[in-house]
Amino acid sequence: MGALAEIADILGPRLSTGESVRALHGRNEAHFPPTLPEAVAFPETTAEIAAIMRACAAHGLPITAFGTGSSLEGQHLPIRGGLSLDLSRMDRVLAIHPEDQIAIVQPGLTRTRLNADLRATGLFFPVDPGADASLGGMAATRASGTTTVRYGTMRENVLALEAVMADGAVIRTGSRARKSSAGYDLTHLLVGSEGTLGIITELTLRLHPQPEAISAAICRFASVAAAVDCVIAVIQSAIPMARIELVDETMVRGFNLHSGTDLPENPHLFLEFHGSPAAVAEQAAAFREIADGFGVAGWQDATTTEARNALWAMRHNAHHATGALEPGKRTLATDVCVPISKLAEAVVEAQDLARAMGLTSAIVGHVGDGNFHCGVRVDPDDAAEMARALEFSGRLAETALRLGGTVSGEHGIGIGKQKYMAAEHGAALDWMRTLKAAFDPACILNPGKMLPPEG
Amino acid sequence: MGALAEIADILGPRLSTGESVRALHGRNEAHFPPTLPEAVAFPETTAEIAAIMRACAAHGLPITAFGTGSSLEGQHLPIRGGLSLDLSRMDRVLAIHPEDQIAIVQPGLTRTRLNADLRATGLFFPVDPGADASLGGMAATRASGTTTVRYGTMRENVLALEAVMADGAVIRTGSRARKSSAGYDLTHLLVGSEGTLGIITELTLRLHPQPEAISAAICRFASVAAAVDCVIAVIQSAIPMARIELVDETMVRGFNLHSGTDLPENPHLFLEFHGSPAAVAEQAAAFREIADGFGVAGWQDATTTEARNALWAMRHNAHHATGALEPGKRTLATDVCVPISKLAEAVVEAQDLARAMGLTSAIVGHVGDGNFHCGVRVDPDDAAEMARALEFSGRLAETALRLGGTVSGEHGIGIGKQKYMAAEHGAALDWMRTLKAAFDPACILNPGKMLPPEG
């Protein structure tokens, strides 16, 4: 009996080989060509995943986890065929412990559904990538978002995991305690491993108290350099920013086209402050004082909940708003992260390069972390434009490395950025290969991802 | 030529086989019997460590890193003989980048020396275990301290590492960027690995702005349960505590004996608030309001720098102050960490158990993290008392696991806690062994530590 027949025995009708289901699991929001799995599994329990894994291991069938399909470097694409493991039926909140500020959830749950469930508890889960991604996928790609400057990435907010390993073993890493010095940190080895070392089947997440008061604002600058220099000064002050997002002039144009707003087409910072009412007012005033030193050209408060929600909905729609810039094309989304002292240099270089290469590139950035994204509009059928866009992305990665940064702050490696792994990691890449070989000797876990081919 | 002869060729007189030097590297502040290395190496560069490692690998000679010798679970003891690698000559600050809020340091540098160097920059490094430990040792044991509730452990504050691996390869993990999604998180695999996967030779540390204002206070309660319930309520509020330390009645007695203070012998919380002057005042007032609900029995502000320094010097002397309780004995120091909702239960159980077993045990705790230490006074020559103390430690570990916690919040595993690894990690322990076998197949890196013997 082949692997798929064995898995069909386990799942019954929850194993699908239908063309449309396979197509749905082989497409992506980025620029990669569709690649269909042989079949799609819809497990409902960890025990089912363990049994599926044993079948895959016995037959050498590749297995690639699928959350919501929103990854931007092709992480969920089954490029070596095999099984797409769709975790959407494992989407429950298993427990909320408000006194411990943790939630235990299944990997298919999305971040907004978790926060909806948390509303009455006075707690929230802060990590917010653009998409309403699954929490398992967010952990697997070490996602972050607009609140990372204050609350951290998935690395800081995943306390413990359950995972199914390549031989079908089910392990639990970490505990409900906030910290531990007991043993190797397998939790943070799995976080960011893009499904290549194990499949995450349960997450214990750290929650945070909803701030007593929140205020937001939009702040306009004459140049990107002025905006970024302001960010650097603010981060060096002790103002505990909750959000500090750069939106460049091209991205503002995209927002205006997509949301019908009429923001002046200048670089902006979108800001949020969390704390007591007095603290929030004090932080905003301290920020403005610093910003004035960088020639702030406009300031707009968003104090009501509606105004604030509108502001962040606009920001979270950046991917779609980029699409409004040159309708009919696709977006090649790339992200890098640099030391904050090099941020202005990197952003200005990215803008100049796109201009010189004749590309439309919109920049949004979690600039408090030194992280920014370029969304480059490309016509996939225009080979020359696609080549230019990829060259742009490559040169941006080189810039990030030259400035002491990383080729990805949050989108990950997947398919698209393997070519930079050797340059970023040098000899450490050998030890990543050692790790992969030890944990997945038959290479069935998301094969072809993250680690570049040898030689 | 044997390994030591090869190493002598590399280091000249910086390889010592003298009895007193070996004895100095074989003793410990905990209850473990002294174990002498065959020789002690004093390297000055990463290249020397790589050459030493190649010699050790070629001859199967064990190599155990030594920082300041302050580890509490025997991590630095060369229990399989071989080489003690003393990193005290690699104690330089290599670079401080204030605008990026990072410092690049050698592993032998101690935390207080780093902070002395940082004073003029407006930045500080927060992690403060009791001892003035080396930063390499702190990373290797995933240390934390009194400020972890606000600023995190070594896990959150190590951004990048250089390390020498078991075959002599020199690798760099992480970057100067604040976050990355590029590849496996080797940085956080090495942090907490107790020198069993590689030797840390350089650290890039995350710094924090010195708060504009600091205020401290001591708060007295009628019972440990009241104090701990107050902590739980404070953590659930959004008060951003910088420090919140429990000191039980026995520990207070030790402080009074050691420091000549006359604190009432009741449970206390030692507190610190960081922020703007207004924020600090607001936080302290909000704390007091919550504390009043738990029947606070006394409150003493420590607003001047001198009063604050005296307070925290007293707290950091807990290990020595415990020694004042029954002079002539040694301290068996143990630590556990539990979900914060279980903290009162765990602390009261520890107190009752010590009393029932006729042991003098002083408790101090980083209670905002759910972490606390028991310092049990033992006469190493009294076998029955030593057995009781070890049984106490074991039962405390079992309590921590039963309550969903971990057998060590910050001291680590070393020699002393291997026996609980299977109970804490279950099947995950197999994958820790897989990792160790892949990274150090000949088992020369701190052999006999962390992972319990198989079978």
Does A427 contact chain B (CB < 8 Å)?
yes
The reply to whether residue A181 touches residue B339, judged by beta carbons under 8 angstroms, is no
Q: Which of B99, B209, B278 lies nearest to residue A238, judging by beta carbons? A: B209
Q: Is A19 helix (H, G, I), strand (E, B) or coil?
A: helix
Cβ of B210 within 8 Å of Cβ of A238? The answer is: yes
Q: Which positions 373-412 of A are in contact with B (Cβ < 8 Å)? A: 400, 404-412
Q: Distance (Å, rounded) from C-alpha A79 to C-alpha A77?
A: 6
pLDDT digits (tens, 9 = 90+) for A267-323: 999 999 999 999 999 999 999 999 999 999 999 999 899 999 999 999 988 989 999
Render pLDDT for B416-445 as a digit per residue (tens, 0 to 9). Answer: 999 999 999 999 999 999 999 999 999 999
Q: Which fold has domain B98-209?
A: 3.30.465
Which value, to the nearest 10 degrees, does the dihedral of the CA atoms of residues A231, A237, A239, A242 take?
40
Judge whether B277 and B212 are in contact, CB under 8 Å.
Answer: yes
How close A246 comes to chain B (CA, Å)?
17
Q: What is the nearest CA distance from A250 to chain B, expressed in angstroms?
A: 25
A302 DSSP β-pair partners: A216
Q: Between β-strands A63-66 and A83-86, what pairing exists: parallel, antiparallel or unpaired?
A: parallel
Facing A179 at nearest CB: one of B197, B286, B409: B409
User: What residue in A sits closest to B411 (Cα-Cα)?
Assistant: A181
The architecture in CATH of the region A324-412 reads 2-Layer Sandwich (3.30)
Q: Please give, rounded to a whole number of angstroms, the shortest distance from the CA of A319 to a CA of chain B.
A: 19
The length of chain B in residues reads 455
Please determine, looking at this structure, whether the domain spanning A213-319 carries the CATH number 3.40.50.300: no
- Nearest CA to CA, how far is A257 from chain B (Å)? 31
Please report the pLDDT score of residue B419 as a whole number.
Answer: 96
Token pair in block for residue A284 = 């905003």
According to the model, what pLDDT value does residue B429 have?
98
Per-residue confidence at B155, pLDDT binned at 50, 70, 90? very high
Tokens for A13, please give them. Answer: 């009708």
* A107 pLDDT above the threshold of 80: yes
The verdict on a CB contact (< 8 Å) between B404 and A210 is: no
Contact (CB<8Å) B177/A240: no
pLDDT of residue A237: 87
Nearest to A337 among B180, B275, B406 (CB): B180
Q: Which residues of chain B neighbour A400 with C-beta distances below 8 Å? A: 177
Q: Please check whether residue B97 touches A, CB under 8 A.
A: yes
Which of B172, B179, B449 should one mutate to test binding to chain A, selecting the residue with the greatest count of A CBs within 10 A? Answer: B179
Q: Give pLDDT, residue B422.
A: 97
User: Looking at chain A from residue 318 to 377, which residues have their Cβ under 8 Å from any Cβ of chain B?
Assistant: 337-341, 369-371
How far apart, in whole angstroms, are the C-alpha atoms of residue A206 and residue B45? 40
Helix, coil or strand: residue B427: coil
The answer to whether B197 contacts A178, with C-beta atoms less than 8 Å apart, is no
- CB neighbours of residue B297 within 10 Å: 17
Please state the domain extents for chain A.
Answer: 1-210+426-455, 213-319, 324-412
In terms of Cα–Cα distance, which of A109, A102, A103 is closest to A87? A109
**Contact with chain B for residue A197, Cβ under 8 A:** yes
Q: Which residues contact A185 (CB under 8 A, 6 or more apart)?
A: B142, B155, B188, B189, B191, B192
Q: What are the angstrom distances between the C-alpha of A388 and each of A353, A374, B306?
A: 11, 14, 62
Cα atoms found within 13 Å of the Cα of residue A126, Cβ hemisphere only = 26
pLDDT at A119 over 90: yes
In chain B, the percentage of residues whose pLDDT exceeds 70 is 100
Rounded to an integer, the average pLDDT of A193-204 is: 98
Alpha carbon B236 to its chain's center: 26
In terms of Cα–Cα distance, which of B235, B300, B312 is closest to B266?
B300
Q: Is A97 on the interface with B (CB under 8 A)?
A: yes
* ipTM metric: 0.96
Query: Are B213-319 and B321-413 in the same CATH fold?
Result: yes
Contact A174, A204 (CB under 8 A): yes
Nearest to B192 among A102, A185, A428 (CB): A185
- Confidence at residue B322, expressed as pLDDT on a 0 to 100 scale: 95
**CA A327, A333, A337 angle in degrees (round to 5)?**
145
Residue A129 CB coordination number (10 Å): 23
A242-263 confidence digits (pLDDT tens): 999 999 999 999 999 998 899 9
pLDDT at B455 over 90: no
Mean pLDDT, chain A, rounded, equals 96
* Residue range B287-302: mean pLDDT, rounded: 94
Which residue of chain B comes nearest to A420, CA vs CA? B182
| Candidates B153, B209, B211; nearest CB to A236 | B209
**B3-86, CATH topology level:** 3.30.43
Tell me: pLDDT of B1 over 80: no
Structurally, at CATH architecture level, domain A1-210+426-455 sits in: 2-Layer Sandwich (3.30)
Residue B111 identity: R
User: How much is the average pLDDT of B293-304?
Assistant: 92
Q: Mark yes or no for CB contact B431/A171 under 8 Å.
A: yes
Least confident of A65-79, B182-196, B304-318, B342-356: B304-318
Summarised one tens digit per residue, pLDDT across range A387-406 is 999 999 999 999 999 999 99
Report the share of chain A in percent with pLDDT over 70.
100
Look over chain B and give the mean of its residue pLDDT values, rounded to a whole number: 96
Phi, psi (rounded to 5 degrees) for A358 = 70, 30
Q: How many Å lie between the alpha carbon of B214 and the closest alpha carbon of chain A?
A: 13
Q: How confident is the model at residue B139 (pLDDT cuts 50, 70, 90)?
A: very high
Q: Which residue from B185, B197, B405 is facing A188, i.e. has the nearest CB?
A: B185
**In degrees to the nearest 10, what's the CA dihedral of A210, A138, A166, B184?**
-100
**Distance to chain B for A138, nearest Cα, Å:** 11
User: Is A428 an interface residue toward B (CB < 8 Å)?
Assistant: yes
- Distance from C-alpha of A407 to C-alpha of B24, rounded to nearest angstrom: 45
Q: Cβ contacts (< 8 Å) between B166 and chain A: which residues?
A: none
Residue A203 has which token pair? Answer: 């997450």
Predicted local confidence at residue B454, as pLDDT: 87
Kindly determine whether residue A181 and residue B369, on different chains, have CB atoms separated by under 8 Å.
no
Q: What residue in B sits closest to A123 (Cα-Cα)? A: B236
Question: Are A171 and B427 within 8 A, CB to CB?
Answer: yes
Residues of chain B with Cβ-Cβ distance to A430 below 8 Å are 169, 171
Q: Which CATH architecture has domain B321-413?
A: 2-Layer Sandwich (3.30)
Q: Is B277 on the interface with A (CB under 8 A)?
A: no
Give the Å distances, CA to CA, from A283 to A117, A166, A297, A437.
Answer: 30, 49, 19, 49
Question: What is the separation, in whole angstroms, between the first and last Cα of chain A?
Answer: 36
The band of B140, judged by pLDDT with boundaries at 50, 70 and 90, is very high
The answer, for A434 touching chain B at a CB cutoff of 8 Å, is yes
Mutate to test the interface with A, among B178, B201, B208, B393 (most CBs of A within 10 A): B178
Alpha-carbon distance of A179 to A262, in angstroms, equals 47
- Could you identify the residue written with the tokens 């939106």? A247
pLDDT in tens, A178-195: 999 999 999 999 999 999
A95 and chain B: CB distance < 8 Å anywhere?
no
Residue in chain A nearest B102 by alpha carbon: A339
Reported as a single tens digit per residue, the pLDDT across B40-55 is 999 999 999 999 999 9
Instruction: Please indicate whether, in this complex, the C-beta atoms of A176 and B435 are within 8 angstroms of each other.
Output: no
Distance from CA of A453 to the nearest CA of B (A): 14
Task: Report the pLDDT value the prediction gives residue B210, as an integer from 0 to 100.
Answer: 94
Task: Using CB atoms, pick whichever of A180, A193, A435 lies closest to residue B408.
Answer: A180
Which positions in chain B touch A156 (Cβ < 8 Å)?
152, 156
Q: What is the pLDDT of residues A13-22, one digit of tens each?
A: 999 999 999 9
**Closest residue on chain A to B195 (Cα):** A184
Task: Give the Cβ contact number of residue B262 at 10 Å.
Answer: 8
The amino acid at A418? Q
